Structure formats: C-alpha cells, structure tokens
Structure 1
Amino acid sequence: MAGSGGSLSRSGLRGREAELEELRTLIASVARTGSGALTLIRGEPGIGKTTLLLEAVATAREAGFSAGLGKADELHHIVPLSSLAACVLHGDDPLLSGDTFADLARHHDRRIWLVERLAEAIEVRAGSVPVLIALDDVQWADPLSLFALKQLPARLRTSPVLWMLTGRQGPPGPAEEIVAAAGGELPAVTVPLGPLSGAAIGQLAGDTLGAAVDERVRELLDGAGGNPFLAVEMLAGLRTADASGESVPPGLVVGVRGRLRSLRPEALRFLQVGAVLGRRFGFEDAAALHGRPSATLIGTLEEVVRAGLLDDDGDQLVFRHDLLRQAVYVDIPPSARKSLHRQAAHRLVATGHQPIDAVSHILRSAQPGDEEAVALLRRAADDVLPVTPGLAADLMTRALELVPATRPLRFDVGEQAIMCLTRAGRNREALSTGDRLLAGRPPLEAIGRLQAALGGTLWNLDLAEELRRRAETALAVGGAAPEVEARLAALRALALSRSHDLGGAREAGENALGAAIAIGDREAHVLSLFGLGEIALNAGENAVALARFTALSAVDSAFLPEEIVAYQHLDDYESGERLLQRAADDAGSSREAMLLWAQAQQHLGLGRLDDAEADFVTMERLEDDVQVPVQQVNARVIRSRIALLRGDRDAARLHLAAARERLAAKPNPGNTAAVRFLEAILAEDDGDIGLAVDKIRQVQREGPFMRWRLLRTWVDSAVRMALRGADHGLAEDLAAQAEAHAERNPAVPTATGVAAQALGLLKNDLALLERSVELLEASPRPLVRAAACADLGKALLAAGRKQQAVAVLTQAHAAFAASGAHAGAARVRRDLEPAGGASRRAASRQRPVQGWEALTASEKKVARLIAEGHTNRSAADLLVVSPHTVNTHLTSVFRKLSVNSRVQLANMVTALRDD
C-alpha cells in the first residue's frame, strides 16, 4: 500500500506477521510437494487483503514461482473472462500470450472446452515451474471467470499450482463457492483478516508521520476501528489539514474530502469522471467524458497522481484503492452520476467496444421506456448467450423490465428473454415469463412466436402433452409468419413422439420437415429432424432413427452424439468409433457431456465396464458444472447395473438412491421406467421376486415407446424375473416385445439374437437358445453374448449335455471376466463347478481397493503416460478419449495410490518398473 507523501510500501503488513507466515508455508508446501492448493484471504474493505496478497506474490516469485496477478473490477464484473485475463496475461512472464488467450476467447461459446484449454496451458507451465494465480477482489469476478475458478483448482490439483484469492467479508458469495467446489480435492486454507491491534496502528502512524504520535492522533485513529487503509487515509488527511491549518474529522469520506480540497476544481471533476468509469480507466475515455482534449488535461492528471489518488501504469489510470474511488463516487450528485454513466456507455460503443463492456453503465442509467438501453442489453445478451447463458438471461430479464406493457416491443424482448432463460436452464422462470406475456393479449403474430419460443422450455420440463396442446392452439389461431408456423408444426410432431399414435406422429413430422425445407428455416428443419429421430427410436426403428440423426448432425453438428448412439443401436460400433474420433479432433466441439454419454455407451456396449464407468462419472460432473442434468438418471441406473455386474452391491444401492433423487427433479416417463427397472433388478438381488416382478409390470405400463428404448438389450433379465415370479403372461409380453423389435431391425444381430434368447427362456427351448448364441456371434456386445451363453449352458446341463454345457459356460465365464463383470463370472462358475468345468483357481480375482493392482487397465495407461510427463490433453490424444475422462482416471489413480502430485506418481511408477 502506497501512501501520499510518505513511504507506506509495507505499512499494510504491520500486525500481519502470522498471516504472512501462513501464506509462506503454503507457498513452500506447493513447491515442495508438487501438488495444488487454494487459499482465500477474507476481510472487510481496506483491512489489508491486497497488500498481503502482493507480498505473498512477491514471496512466491522469489521462490521461483511463475506468478499471475489480477484484480476483478466492479464495473467489469459481467465481461466474460475479464477477471482471469487479468491473471494470466499480465506481468513480465505472463502465463499465456495475448495471441493464445485471444485464440481461446474465440471459442468462449463452449465453457467446458475453454476451461480445459486454460487448464492445459497452466498445466504445461506448471510442468517446468510452480505456478501462482492470484486474483484480488474475487467478489467482482465475471461469471465465466467464476465458472472457470470453480473447475480449475480441482482439475489442476495434481500440478504445483497455487490459487490465491481475496474476498470481502460478508454473506457467502463467489469466494466461498470456489472454495466449496474444490471440496476435498486439494488443500484449501482461509486466512481471515481482522482489525489491527492498537500497537500495529501506532506503527502505521509512525510510518506516515515520521514522528511521535500524540494524543490527538491516537483519538483520530480510534475512529479507524483497526482498519489500516482508513487509518492511513485519516493520517494523510491529517497531514494535509496540518499544512492548511484545518482540522479533519474522522471518517473516510470526510478524510478524502479533506485531501480533495487541495485539488483544483478541474482536477476534482476529472477524478469524478474517472470514478464513474471504474477503478481502472483510460485517459482518453476520461478526457472524452470530461469534454476536454486530452492534451489540455496532462497537468490535471499530474496533479491527482501527485496527490496519491491515482496511479498511472502506462496503459491505464488506477484509483489507488477501491474505497478511494467509492468515496469520490458517492460525492457525485445522483442525477449527474446517471448522466455520466450514459455518456460512458455511448463512448464505449462509439469507440468499438463490445456491447457487454457498456452494460454496467447502462444498468446504472436506464429508465423505464429507454429503448436505447433495451437495444444495447439485447445485443449484449446475444453476444454472451453461448458462453454465459445465465448472464444473458439476467440481461434480458432487465431489458424486459424496461419495456412498458403497452409497447409492442415488449413481445419481441419477451421472446428473446424466454429463449435466454431456457438456455440457462431456468425453465420455470421462462414459462412464467411467457405466460405473463401471453396474458397481455399480444397480436396473433406474437402469440405464435411466443408459443414457439416456449417449445424448448416445455420439452425440457417434460411437458410433452402441454407442448402439443399449445402448438396446436397456436396453429389453429393462425396469423403467425410461415417460419413460425413451421416451427410450431415441428414442435407438435416432437410432442407427439411421446404419444401412443407414433404413426400419426411420423406423418406430422414428415409434414413439418417438408414445410421447413420449403421455406428454408433452419430452426424448423432441426426441430423436425430431431422429432422424427425421436419418433423412430420410440417405434424401435433403429435404421430410420440413424437416417434422421445423420441428416440432423449434417445440419447441426451439435447433434453428433445422437448419430453416434444411433449407430450403436445398429451394432455398428466401428462407425461410432469413427465419429467419436472425429469429435475428439474437432477443437471446441460442443455438447461435451452428451459426447461423453455417447462414448460411455460405446464402452459399455463393447464390454469395457471400467471405461464406461469413468465416462459416466465424468459426464455427470460436466452436467453438474453447467447445471443441465439431461442424462443423470440413466447414467446412475447404468452405473448401478455395472456395480452389480462387478459384485459391488453397496455401490449399486448408492447409485439407486442417487437415481431416485435425480428422478424427483426430472420425472419423465423414460427416467421413471429406468428407475423402476433398476428397482426390479435390485429387488431380485435381494431375493424379493414379487417386488421385482411388480416393478417390471410398472415399466411395461410407462408407455409403449419405453419397450424399445429401455429393454433393448436387457429384456432377458426381465423375462427371467417374470418366469421366477410365475408371471407367464408378463414373460410372454416381454418375449413378444423382443420379437417385435427384431422384426423392426432384422439386420441387427443383437436384436435378433436377444429375441431368440427371450423366446427360448419363455419356452425353455434349447434349440432357440442355441439359435440365440449363433445369432449373437455376429454381435459386437460381449456381455450380451455372455448372458446368452450362460442361459444356453444351464439349459444344456439340464438336458444332460454336460460336455457341450462346459464349453459354452467356459466361454461365458471368460467374457464376463474379461469385461470385469466379476459377479456374472461367479454365477457362471457356480454352474461350471458341479459339472467339473472349473476349479477354484479359475475364479476371476477381484481387484483390491488400494495399490497399483487396484487400478483398472485404463487407469494404469493414464498413470504411465502422466508419469512420463504427458499432460491430460496429450494423454487423451494418445488414448483417443476426452481429456475430461483422463482427469477422472487420474483422480481415481491418485486416490488408489495415495499420492498427491504428478511427481509422486512418477516416482512410484519408476519404482515399480525398477522392481
């Protein structure tokens, strides 16, 4: 902290010896262990957070750290990535070059991708030297920087990266959210700064006045309440007052006023203009708002810098402390403040700044009916929607508030607000906004647009019937533009995909697609193809679904995951792998969570249970990050089944509990049926076959389309439960379902093989079970083949064909064991042992929970690559997986090996090789 007219460079450290030592210890720990850490310095404004942070940064640099230091700004707290930019771009050796950061910023419409690229850049630097990233005033950080700060510390916990933040004392806010997000992933230390002791304040006085502190000064300092900044400002004001013969009452604003009295009116006006622009501002911008040529204000600038109120870093002018700016700002009359903020917005836009840069000024100056402000907010919302949809929704909500109810513009603004709220996941708010607007009796054309905008909202809320009703009503009313009518027709077809009449839904979808193509509306085209793909899936027509989703991903590459999964339904895993590779090569590919879902399904189908589990874990984490829970229920259902296949009953029940919890938030028919099926599986595992059969009946009642979407490869389990529960009618229904699915997909070996298996189980027909195994030889799904072999083996044993049974059961055992399905392998082994086909030594060995042998095959590959010095990105490229999946594997590796850094991991791997 620098004071006016005296050396106060270290005055903020008075009384902070213990806190500084704590930070030095943390810095040394990160350097020594090679693992990450996070610290938060908290306290009231002026308590010395910045000074302590600066000293810690200096200490880290002396210790060999590459340090990036930034400060979030109150008036720029909505500009995407502005806060982190200050950390990684400034200094003698910035963590990122301006060109690299600009390249990242061009992809800022993909938050998760951007965070991963930032992590990679920091990780590379941390591979050679420890890194410190320090951000002052984190409470003002912009939403995208906050998003990144919630992900990066945990993501980089295995590298020597120290995160140091300062935040104001008060209710929990962004700083606490960042600390909470780090959780138990890395050491997190909070350093609270309380008031300085009387002795320390006395030392400050001596630093400033250079003389003994008399009683009058001590009384003045009592008013600082132990706050070093207030104390220094009072002392500076006292010194100014002594020189002028005036007395200075206690209090910051009064103290600052005392110092400002010595300024010429011109200099004071310049300071006030600067206070409106923010803590950091450009000289040219301030001169423009001041209404003077910049050349005529050089003397004024020199005056305020000499007074210790502003610093000049060569690029911008900076108020020496936020409290100084605020003290100047509050003395500006409110009407003048609004006028200056509006002028500042005009200046920023006129000089080529992005609309979002001017929004803070607009929000401080806009009045109801201000259409210019509304237009700027709409442009800013459009710009930030892809990267920070929550911010876009906030901007559009404010824009809507500014438009009087009587103006037609309200419906245009409302339509945009609905779309932003929906993209932000605030669907209930979007629906209530739309309904309020519709209650305002909009013109016919606006009714159609509003209902079309609400289509995605209703779909996300799983209100398919309500979506159908609204779309049909809007189409019947008429008056909408052709492209809006096409979108409404497409939305109606999408809603009908959840109906019993899928033939009618298909016809509606075809008509909507034709209209969309005829008028050339891309949104209607996408909606129509998506609806037709959903209809085909719900009808069990996998080839048709693939054709629709292939056409859809050609129009919008964001739907590539749907195309990949459609190939998997046709047993074409080679094409699925090719498309996954293409997605991995596409820098900045969107919908990362859905791509992980497709990748997880690829691994699951191919019997790679460990890799599938890692992908599902990663997918769920990414959905949590962006707060868009699409596949979390299904992922937990599948993870529970994987746990049962492995023999981990406790984990299976934990996943069921998590699935139920997520079902409460998204209780659509598909999710409900999936959870009911899982409850059936676990009830059977508990020996409650009556409950299991009842749950399967509930699945069958959820809707005809669930027969094709849920039980596609699991119908054999349901048939066995029905037969064990003596519900032959249910078993017949399930077998007929499998047969109908095979008829719809005659070229899919899994479909035809599972149909034969289900019918063979129903009829206890050995020939059909043999046929099932023959058909499934062409299936790429090893666990499906293993289950069919297990059924056939038991039937052969019952028929007295022991030698053939042993051969088939041995095949099943090997497939289960190779996939890590230890419980499935154990069940087959129990059938083999009485037949003499397996020994105790043939038992598949369960993995331990700790140590090198506890690692999965993929985790061992990741561990070796990271030990060799690879980054997450380079390891992911070699393994052809997502860097997010590598991160998940690495988290598991560190937990199982009880290591905390890449250095420790490398040492352990080296030791294992030496052995």
Structure 2
Amino acid sequence: MTGLLVGRSTELSRLVRVLQSAAEGTAGVALVGGDAGIGKTRLVTELVARARERGFHVLVGQCAELGDSLPYLPLADALRGAEPAVREAAAAHPMLGQLLPGMDSAPAAGLTQQRLFGSLLGLLGDVQPVLFVIEDLHWADRSTRDLLVFLSRMVQAERVCVVGTYRTDDIHRRHPLRAVLAELKRLPTVTGVELGPLASGDMSDYVATLGEVGAQELGLIVSRADGNPFYAEELFAAVAEGDTLPDGLASLLMTRVEVLSEAGQQVLRAAAVAGRRVEDELLRKVAGLPLAEFEEAVREIVSRGLLRIDGYGYTFRHALLQEAVYTDLLPGERTRLHTAFARLLTSPAELAYHHLAGHDLAGALSASVEAGRLAERLGAPAEAHSHYNQALALWERVEGAAELAGESREALAFRGAVAAADSGDKHRAIVELRALPPASEVSERLAYYLYEADDQPGAIAAAQAAVESAPDQPALARALATQARTLIWSSRHHEIEALTERALKTARSCGARDAEVGALLTLATYVEYRGEIARAHELVHTASAEGTGDLAMDLRARFHHARIHFEQGLLAQAAEVADDGIRMAFETGLKWSTYGTDLRFLRFLIHYVAGEWDQAEAVAAGFGSRVGTPPEAVLSSFALFIEVARGLPQVEERLSRLRPFWHDELAAYMSRGLAAEHALWHGDPATALDHVRAVLEPMEDGYATVLRIAATGLWALAELGTTEGADELRARARRSAEAGPTGEPVHLGPEGLAWALRVEAEWHRVHGRLDVELWRQVVEAFDFGFVYEVARARWRLAEALLAAGDREAAQAEWESARETAEKLRAAPLEGALQEFGRRARFSGAVQRAGQGAGQRDGRPGDGGLTAREVEVLRLVAEGLTNREIAERLFIAQKTVSVHVSNILGKLEVATRTQAAAAGRERGLLA
C-alpha cells in the first residue's frame, strides 16, 4: 500500500522507539505481525523513511514462498538492493561478498553458517546505524529463521534495529516459525507489534485517501472490508466498476481454503452458509461428519486462522472470507445446506435467512415478519425495518401472504416506516409513508417526520389531512397534537393554544397518553417562547411524570424536560434528566432516533458549558468516528467544541470527514461555525469569515443560533481590521434577539442574552472601541455557569481595562481567565492570554515568556506556542518544507503556513532558521 499512513500512530510509535533506542546504542528487534493486507509493509515503509531521516543505512530483504531451496534469500536480497556504501562494505567480508551480484548466491562449500553470521555481524558494525528489515518471515527458509534468532540474541550494543514482518493468518499450529516467534518474544530486546483491523473511523479516513466515494458506498466498503486496508482498496475498485466481490480478491481468499483437507473444506462450506458465526453443535450436525473427523477438520481450520473460536462456536476471521467461500458453492449445494440449517433452527431471523436462501418463500415471509416483531420488542428498530422490508419484497410472490403475516400489507409497511424513523432514517420513513394509501394514521406520522425534516409546508398539509380523516378519538387526538406541533414556527402559531387544548381534551377522554404528552410538549415550547417560563416548566414536568407506551414520545418528553432546564442555566437538573433519557435510548435501541441523538447532543453541551471537558470528551468518544449519515455528521460536529477549544490535532481530520455534509444545515452550523473559530485561533480570519458567511446564508433570522455565528464573524472582522459587513452582522443578530421566526417578540434564555451582548461588544471592538462596561456585562451574562465563555470574555475585558488605564483590574481579569484556560487545557486561549500578558508586561507573564506555560509540568519554555505549533516547529527544524510538513501531519498546506507565521511571531524571529535556533535554545526540539 502507498499514500498516507492512517490509524497506525500507536504501532509506529512503538517501532520508532526501538529505532531510537538503536540510534542511542541499544540494539533492538521488532516483530510485526498481522493478517495479509492489514498494512505491515506500509507501516515498515514509514519506519524506513524515518530511519533514513535519522541517518540510518537501510537493508530490506524479502522472503519468498520457495521453501528451503534458496537459503539466506532475504539477506542476499537486502545486500543486492543496498546503497553503494553498504555493498562496498559487504564486499570486504568474503562470506557476504558471495551473496552480492556476480557471485554464486549460495555456494556449496565455504559458506558455513557460523562464518556467515560472523561476517554479517562485522558488516553491521561497520555501517551502523543500520535498520535491517526482513519481510514475510512466514515464508522464511530455515537458514533465515536461524539468522533472525542469531541477530535477536547477539546484537546488543551495536546501533542496529532489526524488524521482521509475518502474516499471523499463515502461522498455523505446525508452522515452523511459530516456535521461533514464541522463543524470541520472551527476550527483553524483542518488541512484538500486532496490527489489528483498523477502527471504522480510521477505515473511513483511509478509503477517503483512495478517491471520491459517496457516503452510502463508503459505509458499504468500511463494513465489508472489516478493518483490512487491502480489502478496502479492492472493494473501492470494485465499487468504481460496479462489481461486488472482486475476482482477484476472491481468488486470493480461496487459495487459503484450497490447502485444507477435503473434510476441512466441507466443514468450512457449511460454516459459510451459516453466516459470519456458527455454533459448534449446529455446524457438526449440518456438516454431517463423524465426531472425530469433524473435530480434526475444525482444528485444522482454526490452526490456519480461517475460523476463530468464539464462545461455543466459531467466527470467520474476516467477513469477506465467508463471502468468498459462500460464493464458491454450487447452487444445489448451497440450497441443500440452507435447508439443513432451517430444519435445525428456531430463531426467526435465522429461519428467514435460510428459508429465503433455500427458496422457501412462504417460510421466509412468515419468519421475516416474526423476526421484525421480535426486533421491535428488543429495541432494534433498524433490524426490524430490514425484516419487514424483506417480507414486503416477498409479498406478491407468496399466496396467502396476509394470513401468514397476520396483518395487511399496508399495516406491515406502516410498521416498517415507523421502525425506519426510530432507527434515525427519517428520509426513508417519509418515502415509505408517501407510498402508502392515504389514511389518518399514515398522514399523522408523515406530518411528524416531515416537521423533523424541516419541511414545514409539507408537514402542515399532512397534519391537516390527518385531522380531517381521523376515524376515531385516539387517531384524532394524535392528529391534533401533531398539527399543533407543525404550526409552532409558522404564521398560524396563534392557533396552537386552541389546538393543544382540543388535543388534550380528546386524548384524556379516550386515554391516548402519547397524544396527551405530545400536546403538552408543544404547548410548553410555545409558552416558553413567549416568556412564560414557569408555566413551561410545569407543562414539561407533567408530560414527563409517567410513561406513554410510545418510547419515541417518552424520549421527546425527557429531551424537552432537560432542554428547558439547560436553556435557563439550570445545569445540574438538566444533566440528571438527560442522563435518564440517554439510558432509555440505549436500552430501547432508539439511540439514533431524533431524540436519542438530541439527548446525547444536549448531554455533551451540559458538560461543555459546565467546564467538565474531560467528561465531554468521553461523551464525544461515544459518538463514534464514522461519518456516513447526517445524524452521524452532527454528532461528530459536537466533538469539535472541545477539539477546537483545546487545539487538538484531529480537528483538521474531522473537518475533512464532515465537509461532504455541509449541505445539511445543522451539520454545517455546527462544524463550519467551529471551523471558523479554529481558523481564528490559527491566525486565519479570512477563512473564518468565509465559514461564517456560508453558515448564515441559508439561516433565517429569529433563531438564537444566529447570535453565536454573528459574534464569531465580528471577531474575524476585528482581526482583519475592517468594518465591512459588521453592521449587517449586528443587524441580523439584533433581529434574531428581538423577534423569532414568527415575527413576535422572543424570550432569550441566559446563554442567548449573553451572546447578544457579546455581539454588541464585538461590534464595538471592530470599530476600535474597547467598551469596559459592555465587556463586564458579557462576563456577568455568561456567569450562569458557562465556564469557558466567561474566561474568553474576561480576556477581552482585560484588554479593555488595560486600554482604559486600569492596569491592576486588567491583570486580575487576565489571571482569572488564564487559570480557567489552564484548568480546561484550552491551549489556544491559554496561548492568546500568554501573548497578551507578555505584551502587557503583567507580573508573571514576563517570567512565563521565558519559562513557558509548560513550566508547571516541568517542561522547558514554549514561548506561548500551542502543542500543534511545537510539533510544526520541530519539523521546521528538520528542514521540511510546508508541503512536506502538511503531508507528515495530514493537514492542509495553508494551515501549515498559518502555524509557521504564528511561530515566527510568538518567538519574535524573522526566519525559519531563527525559529529553529530559538526552539532549540528553549528545549522545544527535544
């Protein structure tokens, strides 16, 4: 593999430590194992590049699948490909000279192992430091295995690093390398490095390096490749060509199957029909072998790494291996094996799979419906939707389908659409509902999901249809509650009180608790918007008091209960309710539903606002790194709050994964708004302003979200030193603070009021006015518990106080902000405060300019540089260009340029050479 090294930083660091130890005079050996295609060669290639940068001579030799016919093949290969200086040194050792071009590769006489090994030891001593790589040790001849043992035991004080790679999936129980590896890994000088599958997020990043691919295709490749980069490459190529499993990859996988005994192949074929995993007893019955022969066959399969023992059964080492074996089956063979499994199974999902593959369509339909209902009960809506869709696909081909399913086709399709929405796929739910004949229940759900998909006109029309066609009171209550919800931000919002009152009366008369809660929550939102906070709290509390039987509605109630506390600055109460809602979402399988995701967003924000950033990072880690759908993109965007504020290196990588989702308004608001802050912290206000304008363009006035973005845009204008566009940004913010989307006066919570004040203060700063009282108001407004924003406002207040001549008060605000930034590990803010304090010559800041903020950890002074800037400085000192630094750190070249400019400014030097000298003097290059 070539290109960027993705997801292997830990393994590379371990290898680099062995290399560095060798450079310092302590030899070491690293043995790198992993499946075929997992990335061993790519990892070692990166190590070779690092070694050459450090002045190492490099020898790379390859073993071949030739048995013992060519002894010392990798050593001969390494010498032949070595640089001239190494070949000249080898020629001075007669035993090694015989391995060089023009000589016999392995003469029968005179090339004794003892003399050869001694010559090699002498050569390594002559050309040290040296990195000797032996690839594909699983094919090593006996002499090469002896050579590896010799080097591992005898090379001690030389500056030598030996690295060997081998395929773990080829090391079966009788493989001759197995004992050698076990012996060597006990030695203190030997480091074992196992390459496992790449995580899904890293895999997504890797596939993105191969070329453009759609989100759906990306998800398919990531799931099927199962963490193997080579398989991902093959699948990427197949997707581009419209294929399924590429012939080349299938052939490669099947070569490992064909070496099995006939019994082993028979058992593996049966296992492939079962799927990725199969229980031992079930496999034995279907395979049809005597017990002793079956167990010997399974032992052979496991020892060759094709199946892994998994509890009371077996799992294919890789999903594509199972697929390749399954595809290789003859049609009749496949059908007979599926039928055999169907006779022995009771699980509806497994029965549906085997009935369908065995061409029993009636059995498949019945089992699919039952599997869907079971998945619903178990809180697995995505699986339920899949099973229902399979049943619907068979419907027209099965006589008496309604009797087998126990309900009509329309009822089953409706059930499937609701399951799709519960799994987070509102778009699919909307498409499937629109395909159904119009009915009140269908129209009500369609209106509900259209509202959540921001199609207000469509939602209002569908809700009206639901009300007009409601056949009974429960249906009417639900339709009225949903209709009120669709009108809340429309010009018809004045109808909401009457509609919710009618919905509540109807719901209570017929016991429709879900409709009652829906109406209460809509009314609570409406009165909260009008400023009736106490009444809103009371309504939400009533809605949340007991369950409704509708899990999605219960989650909605918990979200709004938590949200209303959060927006009033009651963080502890909000956290308690949000935690309860998140537990419910995970326990019921609704974590990707609208309110399952919204509750996790909210919990992250509560931690973030309260200054509990380590806990916020832990919540963000639970979001997952894969970005394949808009809900996943929004979740991923939330992680940027901490990553940007702490100046973490993964910001650029996350933004690159999110860029394809900037058409989604919420994902764009989140990620581009924080991308703007990221650009500002890195000295690029022009890019920040581009992000702000892109976010604001599709946004309507009247939403509090406009305020934060407008404040960020004004910050950028202040940094650019221009007033162009400042008045429009303030005007948009004022309109949004004064009136909502319906045009009526809006009630802002504590955070909204704080951002409105921040906009005013930033507008004055753009015009060159540092208003002390206004910035003091901003500090006080954010002091409801928003720890980070209080610190950022104190920074600006300190600037204003200093400009007004109140030096003592300015230093007090600066100290308070710096202490908070240090506690939060908010590196960009800490760096900005350090720079301000140094320029202001505050007591403590001048000393820290020489010692660095890192002095508290016993580190040398960093001159106010962020961790990323120190990393860039080290690469500058190595002589790398901006392009080379960008490639090394996987960031944009423009970003590197910004980092370098910041470094020159903070270190007060004019050139890269001077920056390197200053960094060396301060101990930053260690």
| TM-score of the aligned structures, taking structure 2 as reference length | 0.51
Residue 424 of structure 1, CA deviation: 4.5
Match of 1:807 in 2: 812
How far apart are the structure 2 equivalents of 1:153 and 1:784?
A: 32
Are 2:701 and 2:735, in contact at CA under 8 Å, matched by a contact in 1?
A: no
Q: Deviations over 1:281-316 (max 9, x none)?
A: 9999999x9xxxxxxxxxxx99x7799899999x99
Query: What secondary structure is seen at the aligned counterpart in 2 of 1:621?
Result: coil
Gap change, CA 1:801 and 1:194, over 3 Å in 2: closer
Query: Aligned residue for 1:403?
Result: 395
Amino acid paired to 1:483: P
1:809–1:828: 8 Å Cα contact kept in structure 2? yes
Question: Residue 465 of structure 1: which of 451, 454, 457 is its match?
Answer: 457
Q: Name the counterpart of 1:394.
A: 386
SS of residue matched to 1:702: coil
Q: For 1:754 and 1:276, how far apart are their aligned partners in 2?
A: 60
Q: Give the Cα–Cα distance (whole angstroms) in 2 for the partners of residues 482 and 462 of structure 1.
A: 28
Task: Please state whether the residue corresponding to 1:363 is helix, strand or coil.
Answer: helix
2:624: which partner in 1? 621
Once the two structures are TM-superposed, the CA of residue 618 in structure 1 deviates from its matched residue by 1.4
Aligned to 2:367: 376
Superposed, which structure 2 residues align to 1:894-913 within 5 Å? none
Contact 2:772 2:800 in 1 (8 A): no
3-state SS of 1:703 partner: coil
Work out the CA distance in 1 between the residues paired with 2:680 and 2:486.
35
Relative to structure 1, the CA distance from residue 54 to residue 412 in structure 2 (aligned partners, 3 Å threshold; closer, same or farther) is: farther
Aligned to 1:699: 696
SS of the counterpart of 2:459? helix
Offset at residue 726 of structure 1 (A): 6.2
- Provide structure 2 residue ranges, at least 5 long, that are not aligned to the other structure: 1-64, 69-135, 150-164, 184-191, 204-219, 234-247, 300-310, 315-321, 862-926
Aligned mate of 1:841, from 821, 835, 847? 847
The question of whether the paired residues in 1 share the 8 Å contact of 2:555 and 2:585 is answered with no
1:821 paired residue among 826, 829, 832 = 826
What are the equivalent positions in structure 2 for 1:281-360 lying under 5 Å apart? 341=339, 353-360=346-353
Alpha-carbon distance between aligned partners in 1 of 2:661 and 2:675, rounded to the nearest angstrom? 15
Matching residue within 463, 472, 475 for 2:467: 475
Does residue 1:789 correspond to 2:794, yes or no?
A: yes
1:569 to 554, 567, 585: 567
Deviations 1:383-410 (A, max 9, x none): 2245654443332122112334997811
By how many angstroms is 1:381 displaced?
Answer: 0.9
Residue in 1 aligned with 2:609? 605
8 Å CA contact 2:751–2:782 kept in 1: the answer is no
Distance between the aligned counterparts of 1:786 and 1:275, measured in 2?
A: 59
Deviation sequence 1:228-266 (CA, Å, 0-9, x none):
869965xx9xxxxxxxxxxxxxxx99xx9xxxxxxxxxx
The two structures, once aligned, show a CA RMSD in angstroms of: 6.8
2:234 aligned with 1:177, yes or no? no
Q: Tell me which residue corresponds to 2:484.
A: 493
- One-letter code of the match for 2:605? Q
Provide, for residues 691-715 of structure 1, a one-character-per-residue CA deviation record: whole Å limited to 9, x for no partner: 9499469738723452x2453x676
C-alpha distance in 2 between matches for 1:699 and 1:774: 26
- The aligned runs of 1:649-728 (5 Å cut-off) are 657-664=656-663, 666-667=664-665, 670-674=666-670, 677=673, 692=689, 695=692, 699=696, 702-706=699-703, 708-709=704-705, 711=707, 716-717=711-712, 724-725=723-724, 727-728=726-727
Which residue, out of 770, 775, 779, partners 2:784? Answer: 779
CA contact (8 A) 1:483 1:519 kept: yes
Q: Equivalent of 2:512, from 518, 521, 525? A: 521
Q: Which amino acid aligns with 2:846?
A: R
SS of the residue 1:487 aligns to: helix
SS of 2:515's equivalent in the other structure is helix
The answer to whether the Cα contact below 8 Å between 2:555 and 2:581 also exists between their aligned partners in 1 is no
Residues 760 and 766 in structure 1, CA contact (< 8 A), matched pair in contact too: yes
Following superposition, the deviation at residue 380 of structure 1 comes to 0.7
Cα separation, partners in 2 of 1:810 and 1:378, compared to 1, 3 Å: same
Residues 257-276 of structure 1: matches in 2 within 5 Å? none
With over 3 angstroms needed to count, the CA separation of the structure-2 counterparts of 1:823 and 1:149, relative to structure 1, is closer
Aligned to 1:415: 414
CA distance in 2, matches of 1:657, 1:226: 38
More RCO (CA 8 Å, sep 6+): 1
Deviates more, 1:724-733 or 1:466-475: 724-733
* Inter-CA distance 642–828: structure 2 relative to 1 (3 Å threshold): same
Letter of the 1:663 counterpart:
W
Distance 1:543 1:736, change over 3 A: farther
Q: Distance in 1 between matches of 2:636 and 2:326?
A: 51
Aligned 8 A contact 2:799 2:810 in 1: yes
Shift of 1:472: 1.8
Percentage of matched positions with identical amino acids: 16
Letter in 2 for 1:602: I
Superposed, 1:544-555 pairs within 5 Å as 551-552=543-544, 555=547
Q: Counterparts of 1:57 and 1:504 in 2: how far apart (Å)?
A: 81
How far residue 416 of structure 1 moved from its aligned partner, in angstroms, is 1.9
Tell me the alpha carbon deviations over residues 858-879 of structure 1, each in whole angstroms, 9 at most, x when there is no partner: xxxxxxxxxxxxxxxxxxxxxx
Question: By how many angstroms is 1:654 displaced?
Answer: 5.8
1:636 corresponds to: 637
Relative to structure 1, the CA distance from residue 193 to residue 851 in structure 2 (aligned partners, 3 Å threshold; closer, same or farther) is: farther
SS, match of residue 779 in structure 1: coil
Matched-pair contact (CA < 8 Å) for 2:353–2:364: no
SS in 2 for 1:783: helix
For residue 574 of structure 1, what is the amino acid of its counterpart? A
Q: In the aligned structure 1, how far is the partner of 2:711 from the partner of 2:796? A: 10
Find the residue that maps to 2:468 and give its secondary structure: helix
Aligned residues: 629
Contact 1:367-1:402 at 8 Å conserved across structures: no
What whole-Å deviation, never above 9, does each CA across 1:488-535 have from its counterpart, x for those lacking one?
A: 333333433453555445654555455444433354356445655665
1:437 alignment partner, SS class: coil
| Other structure's SS at 1:785 match | helix
Code of the aligned partner of 2:847: R
Correspondence list, 1:100-179, <5 A: 176-179=225-228
Q: Is the 8 A contact 2:463 2:486 kept in 1?
A: no
- Between the aligned partners of 1:596 and 1:173, the Cα distance in structure 2 is 25
Contact 1:633-1:663 at 8 Å conserved across structures:
no
SS at match of 2:785: coil
Q: 8 Å contact 2:447–2:459 — kept in the other structure?
A: yes
Distance 1:477 1:615, change over 3 A: same
Quickly say closer, same or farther: Cα 1:699–1:766, change in 2 above 3 A: same
In 1, Cα distance between the equivalents of 2:166 and 2:519? 48
Listed one character per residue, the Cα deviations across residues 356-387 of structure 1 (whole Å, up to 9, x for unaligned) are 3422343246777x4x7544322211222456
Q: Deviation of residue 470 (structure 1)?
A: 1.9
Aligned AA for 1:451? S
Tell me the SS of whatever aligns to 1:403.
Answer: helix
Amino acid at match of 1:412: A
- The answer (yes or no) to whether the contact 1:500–1:703 under 8 Å persists in 2 is no
Paired residue type of 1:636: S
Q: 1:486 to 1:727 in 2, by over 3 A?
A: same
- Equivalent residues in 2 for 1:410-449, closer than 5 Å: 410-438=409-437, 447-449=439-441
Change (3 A) 1:543 1:726: farther
Structure 1: gaps (5+ residues): 1-13, 30-36, 42-48, 65-129, 135-147, 155-170, 185-191, 197-224, 237-251, 257-272, 290-300, 439-443, 855-915
Structure 1 CA distance, aligned partners of 2:788 and 2:643? 11
CA contact 2:637–2:667 (8 Å) conserved in 1: no
CA contact (8 A) 1:810 1:832 kept: no
Assess if the C-alpha contact under 8 Å between 1:455 and 1:491 holds in 2: yes
